[in-house]
Structure 1
Amino acid sequence: MSVAVENFVKAIYKNGKSNNNDTKPGNIAKELGISNAAATDMAKKLAVKDLINYEKYQELKLTDKGTKMALNVVRKHRLWEALLFKLFDMSLHDIHREAELLEHQTSDLLANKISEYLGNPKFDPHGDPIPNANGEITTTDTSISLSNTKEGKQYIISRLMSDDKEFFDFCSQNGLKYGNTVLVSKQFSSNKMTQISINNNTILLNEDFTSIIYVNEQD
């Protein structure tokens, strides 16, 4: 399949998993940087190939065949991120950008070799789950956004759901990394801000950040 087709089904899959985006053609167009007309045209073509279900004015839904394709692309993307991070200690933004290119040039054989080399990881450096070779995500996501946490409790960062360079630069500079522990010291509900403590530093975050940083409560 072409890069455009793989990116299209991947965008539907990712938007379908997001709380902030639906999968109508207009949103997929925005995600991919194409026109609404181009997105609608692609949707109709992929419906003929039994990759998606298309109905006018409705959200796009992946078929079983389309979901399998999307998860295969997602697997390769996240495995490349894990490998680049391990070998070169590249920034989270840079590994995402490079993986966007490499995912389309990677055979299933190479993806399996990368997975074996890394010890068959279940998560990438952003905390996103890595599908296995059968296109299955075998982990259970119990994380919540930082904006929904409780004051006085400690949490472990489980996902950083963004591809924005400035966001990742900020996270890196302040120790907001997958696996690190944060203490939620104050929730300013009326202002939609959260005060946290990490590495002996106090940081005040607005909802733009706290809605895409996901955590699990520390045992």
Structure 2
Amino acid sequence: MSVAIENFVKAIYKSKINDITDTKPGNIAKLLGISNAAATDMAKSLAAKNLVDYQKYKALQLTDEGEKLALKVIRKHRLWEAFLHKTFDMSLHEIHREAELLEHETSDFLANTISAFLGNPKFDPHGDPIPNENGEITTKDTSVSLSKTKENKTYIIARLMSDDKEFFDFCAINGLKYGNKLTVIKQFSKNKMTQISINNNTILLNQDFTKIIYVNETD
């Protein structure tokens, strides 16, 4: 499959799973930086390949084959992120940027080899689940966004759902890392801000951050 096709089905899958936006061609076009016409043409082409269910003016749906392809690409992407982070200690933004390129040049054999080398990890360094070699996500996601947490509770960071460099730079500086603990001090619901304590520092985060930082409550 071409890079354009792999990116298209991946965008549909991630939009639906992460509930970021609906999957009409115009919204997928914005995510990929292409024209609405190009997105519609791609959707029609993929419908002919039985990868996408396309109906005019409606959200795009992946077929079983389309979802299988999307998960295969996502598996390769997240395995590369785990490998680059572990081997070269690259930043979260750097591993995402490089994995975007490497995912399209990776055979199933190499992906499985990388997975075995890493001990078959179930999560990447952002906390995102890594599909297994059968294209299945076997982990159960119980995390909630930081914006929906309760005051005076301690949580473990489960996912950092972004690809923005400044966001990851901020996270690195303040210890907001997958697996680290934080305590929610106060929720400012009217102003949509959350005050947390992490590594003996107090930080006030706005909704742009709290809606993409996901956490699990500690036992």
Task: Give the TM-score normalised by structure 1.
Answer: 0.99
Instruction: Name the aligned partner's letter for residue 15 of structure 2.
Output: N
Instruction: Name the aligned partner's letter for residue 181 of structure 1.
Output: K
2:70 partner SS:
helix
Specify the alignment match of 2:141 in structure 1: 141
Distance 2:68 2:105 in 1: 17
1:182 partner SS:
strand
Distance 1:144 1:63 in 2: 28
Specify the alignment match of 1:12 in structure 2: 12
Identity across the alignment (%)? 78
Specify the alignment match of 1:190 in structure 2: 190
Specify the alignment match of 2:101 in structure 1: 101
Instruction: Name the aligned partner's letter for residue 97 of structure 1.
Output: R
Moved over 4 A (4+): none
Instruction: Structure 1: give runs of 5+ residues left out of the alignment.
Output: none
Superposed CA RMSD: 0.4
Distance 1:194 1:134 in 2: 39
Instruction: Structure 2: give runs of 5+ residues left out of the alignment.
Output: none
Task: Give the TM-score normalised by structure 2.
Answer: 0.99
Residues 1:23 and 2:23 are matched in the alignment: yes
Specify the alignment match of 1:127 in structure 2: 127
Distance 1:19 1:64 in 2: 19
Q: Deviations over 1:65-116 (max 9, x none)?
A: 0000000000000000000000010000000000000000000000000000
Distance 2:19 2:218 in 1: 24
* Shift, 1:20, TM fit: 2.5
Q: Deviations over 1:148-201 (max 9, x none)?
A: 000000000000000000000000000000000000000000000000000000
Which shows bigger deviation, 164-173 or 15-24? 15-24
2:71 partner SS:
helix
* Shift, 1:19, TM fit: 2.4
> Equivalent residues in 2 for 1:28-43 (5 A)?
28-43=28-43
Specify the alignment match of 1:175 in structure 2: 175
> Equivalent residues in 2 for 1:57-136 (5 A)?
57-136=57-136
* Shift, 1:22, TM fit: 1.1
* Shift, 1:21, TM fit: 1.1
Distance 1:171 1:26 in 2: 31
> Equivalent residues in 2 for 1:150-161 (5 A)?
150-161=150-161
Instruction: Name the aligned partner's letter for residue 31 of structure 1.
Output: L
